Amino acid sequence: MHAFVKQACLAVVMGATLAGMAFMVQAQDASLVSKDDIPQKFDDVVPGGQDFTRREVMVPMRDGTKLFTVIVVPKGVKDAPIILTRTPYNAAERAGSAKATSMATALPHADAAFVEAKYIRVYQDVRGKYGSEGKYIMMYPPRGPLNPTKTDETTDSWDTIDWLVKHVPESNGRVGMIGSSYEGETIVMALLDPHPALKAAVPESPMVDTYMGDDWFHYGAFRQMMLGYVHMQTMQKGAGAVTPTDTYDKYEEYLRAGSVGDYIRSRGLDKLPFVARMMAHPAYDDFWQGQDLARRLAAKPSTVPTLWEQGLFDQEDMWGANHAWLALKAAGHTANNWLVMGPWSHSQVNGKGYAVGAFKWEGDTARQYNRQMVLPFFEQYLRDGQPAKLARVTIYNTGDDRWESFQDWPTACASGCGTHLKPLYLAKDAGLTFNKPGDAEAADTYVSDPAKPVPFLPRPVLDPFFGYGSDYAGYIPWSSWLVHDQRFVDGRSDVLSYETPVLTSAVRVQGIPVADLRAMTTGTDGDFVVKLIDVFPSSVPSDPSIGGYQMAIAMDILRGRYRESFEHPSAIPANTPQTYKFELPNVNHVFQPGHRIMVQVQSSLFPLYDRNPQTYVPNIFNAKPADYRAATISVLRSDSQPSAVWLPVVGRGANRVD
């Protein structure tokens, strides 16, 4: 056959074949699109199986409200203790995926020791959040004048524990509680009337008194950058978002808004009930005093063994754990209470503890705490294990870079301690001395201008709750601002810096420093910020990056109108000497030879704290533009009006038991 004819025949055959194939594909396509690629039921197959079971239940409370609870049980476990965390931060997410390959990968990093020790882990949404029923009240007040109902976090904890020990057959009937921040507050509430099965508690950085020194205020000054958190937490039942903004720099945003009340109203935050309540209570009145959990604990101490944890550089809840422990100590209840303070930012114990900011520690201090303190503590009280052998107080020494154990705390204080505080006086020529100044009249002045407040971090200052990503490369994290190098404000005309000569011997401080300023202002109100700083040598060969570093080891702020009473504010008499005395946060530190001690004094820490108009008004939330006026501040340092920071100075090895 001719080649051309062969090709023609082949083409006909191929055409017929392709036509047939096309018909078959069309038929298959019709069958394909008639089905759903998502089957009605599909179960993942975990290679090798899982080593845990995960149950989601709705636990009933005494008023009929049901709380969403996730119970994670190691497979095959019997007579195991339960570790409970009650959270406003999504229990389903905190407890991990039911399809995780192992319990270790399902649960948070901080639970690793509990997984290895075969504990039953429980997470529960607090009333009104995420999967739980009921109304959400931020930091639900204890039953009483502020809460006339029959339920609170205390009853919800009691009812939850009661249900767990009756409905989790793998348990040994003993429950421990652990949690940080808001989760820590729910533990403190549980301790006000603990269930008999609650055998051990570990409140970490708990919110205890949010006016005096935890989230919302510090000594009367409002922490306005926490507004983003309140917005995120109370705008809806599930996950919220921080306050919308079109301004990159929070310093600029708050400054342009005017008063903090103007900012709140311009963003509609005054429609959030919790914000409205804060604005209505700028002083330490019955509203705040009724929520001070330290005084409630002291009035009705529990017998539950409790390990209190506090970060020495906690940028959010610096007050709660240590003041709760001190209140219980004053009430004579140290026997079942222990205190740990580590070199951590807020809730850092739930992650890695190698460093905070520029400062690196000897190993993972968070792991040391969780493995060597928390786990033995739970083992002792939840399993009748070996005694944990914890010192009454364990505090990291941030100068010697080591853990230290004490029989008591503070080891040096104003009264009732073996060692008394030692005044470090502000002196002439920007000096500091342990010798009382002999000048008849002496003062240093600066102009505090609300139009140019001193920033608490170098600008731009970003929203701490936004969630930093690659766009914020190089930004100083919110978590480490307390140890940020203070050279960025040293030299400002509205910041006074006083410094010792180079130290020839170590100065050891253990306890609670006290700022004691004598000052005058041309205004009728004003704030005072005091920072205690360790100034490193100009050259540090082992770590050149910290040469000359000004490391704040303690700082705080006092709103001047509360200098005499936090409950009853009063105007400051202009041009009249006044005393501004307040405690700084805990320190356990060594100022090493070759370093200097520095004290800085200023009148703003913005935008972390709202601006003081420096004109007395009944409620600073409602200050008007005309109320914001510059004032000249005179810090006195004479023989009759000395200003000082009283330091808890001790000798080498003083009061240690390790």
Q: Is the pLDDT of residue 28 over 70?
A: no
The confidence score (pLDDT) of residue 14 equals 53
Residue 52: strand pairing partners:
74
- What local confidence, expressed as pLDDT, does residue 391 receive? 97
Residue 120: both structure tokens together:
């039953």
What whole-number distance in Å separates Cα of residue 320 and Cα of residue 305? 17
Nearest CA to 158 out of 199, 200, 193 is that of: 193
Indicate the range of 12-26, 222-236, 412-426 predicted with least confidence. 12-26
pLDDT band of residue 30 (cuts 50, 70, 90) is low
Strand blocks (E) in 226-312 = 306-311
Q: Is there a contact between 648 and 421 (Cβ–Cβ < 8 Å)?
A: yes
- Residue 259: give its domain's CATH number: 1.10.3020.10
Does 560 score more than 90 pLDDT? yes
pLDDT given for residue 241 in this prediction: 83
Highest average pLDDT, of 45-54, 273-282, 455-464, comes from 273-282
- Which of 406, 421, 438 is the C-terminal boundary of a domain? 406
Distance between CA 432 and CA 434 in Å, rounded?
7
With cut-offs at 50, 70 and 90, classify the pLDDT of residue 457.
Answer: very high
Is the confidence at residue 556, as pLDDT, over 70? yes
Mapping DSSP to helix (H, G, I), strand (E, B) and coil, where does residue 395 land? strand
What's the average model confidence in pLDDT over 615-638? 98
For 337-376, write each residue's pLDDT tens digit. Answer: 999 999 999 999 999 999 999 999 999 999 999 999 999 9
Other residues' Cβ atoms within 10 Å of the Cβ of residue 632: 13
Tokens of 93: 């997410």
Judged against a pLDDT cut of 90, whether residue 21 lies above it is answered with no
What are the angstrom distances between the C-alpha of 491 and each of 307, 488, 602?
Answer: 42, 8, 12
Provide, rounded to the nearest whole percent, the portion of the chain with pLDDT above 90: 84
Segment 147-176 mean pLDDT: 98
Helix extents (H) in 208-259: 227-234, 250-257
Average pLDDT of the segment spanning 637-653: 92
Task: Inform me whether the pLDDT recorded for 13 exceeds 70.
Answer: no
Mean of pLDDT values over 124-152: 96
Q: Output 471-478 pairs: Cβ under 8 A, ≥24 positions apart.
A: 477/357, 478/315
| Per-residue pLDDT tens over the stretch 244-303 | 888 999 999 999 999 999 999 999 999 999 999 999 999 999 999 999 999 999 999 999
Q: Of 95-104, 442-451, 571-580, where does mean pLDDT reach its minimum?
A: 95-104
111 is a domain residue: yes
Question: Which pLDDT score, from 0 to 100, does residue 300 have?
Answer: 94
Domain boundary among 406, 430, 458: 406
CATH number at residue 390: 3.40.50.1820
Q: How many CA atoms lie within 13 A of 491 on its CB side?
A: 4
Confidence of residue 464 (pLDDT cuts 50, 70, 90): confident
Instruction: For 204-259, write each residue's pLDDT tens digit.
Output: 999 999 999 999 999 999 999 999 999 999 999 988 888 888 899 999 999 999 99
Greater pLDDT, 30 or 41: 41
Q: 486-523, pLDDT tens digit by residue?
A: 999 999 999 999 999 999 999 999 999 999 999 999 99
451 and 327 in a single domain? The answer is no
420-to-508, 511, 651 alpha-carbon distances in Å: 13, 10, 12
Statement to judge: residues 490 and 436 lie in one domain: yes
Same domain for 196 and 320: yes
Residue 1 lies in a domain: no
Whether 469 has a pLDDT exceeding 80, the answer reads no
Do 543 and 617 fall into the same domain? yes
Average pLDDT, the chain: 92
Domain annotation covers residue 186: yes
pLDDT at position 468, please? 42
Which CATH number characterizes residue 590's domain? 2.60.120.260
Mean pLDDT of 196-201: 98
- HEC per residue, 496-508: EEEECCCCCCCEE
In this predicted structure, what is the pLDDT of residue 486?
Answer: 98
pLDDT digits (tens, 9 = 90+) for 51-103: 999 999 999 999 999 999 999 999 999 999 999 999 999 999 999 998 899 99
Whether residue 424 is found in the same domain as residue 377: no
Separation CA 514–CA 413 (nearest Å): 9
Give pLDDT, residue 587: 98
Is 210 in contact with 548 (CB distance < 8 Å)?
no
Spatial neighbors of 288 by CB under 8 A, at least 6 apart, are 209, 210, 211, 281
Among left, alpha and beta (phi > 0; psi -120 to 50; other), residue 76 is left
What does the pLDDT read at residue 459?
94
* Domain shared by 432 and 395, yes or no: no
Q: From the DSSP assignment, how many helices (H) and strands (E) are in the chain?
A: 15, 30
Domains in the chain, number: 3
Domain assignment of residue 2, yes or no: no
Unique residue bearing structure tokens 């348990």: 171
Residue 146 and residue 169 in one domain: yes
| pLDDT (0 to 100) of residue 49 | 77
Please indicate, yes or no, if residue 24 is contained in any of the structural domains. Answer: no
What are the φ and ψ backbone dihedral angles of 116, each rounded to 5 degrees? -65, -35
Structure tokens, 111: 């639970």
Residue 97 placed within a domain: yes
And the tokens for 576?
Answer: 């009249």
Same domain? 616 vs 643? yes
Residues 579 and 513 in one domain: yes
User: Is residue 8 in a domain?
Assistant: no
Residue 45 resides in a domain: no
- Looking at the structure, do residues 394 and 429 belong to the same domain, yes or no? no
CA distance 170 to 556: 48
Judge if 276 and 297 occupy the same domain: no
**Domain span holding position 268:** 222-231+239-286
Domain shared by 320 and 273, yes or no: no
Q: Using 50, 70 and 90 to split pLDDT, how confident is the model at 471?
A: very low
Q: What share of the chain in percent tops pLDDT 70? A: 91
Report CA torsion sign: 224, 226, 232, 237.
negative
Cα(231)–Cα(254) distance, rounded to whole angstroms?
A: 16
Q: What is the 3-state secondary structure (H, E, C) of 117-155?
A: CCCEEEEEECCCCCCCCCCCCCCCCCCECCECCCCCHHH
The DSSP H or E segment spanning 263 is helix 260-266
Q: What is the mean pLDDT of residues 384-405?
A: 96
Last residue of a domain, one of 376, 406, 436: 406
Q: What is the pLDDT of residue 29?
A: 59
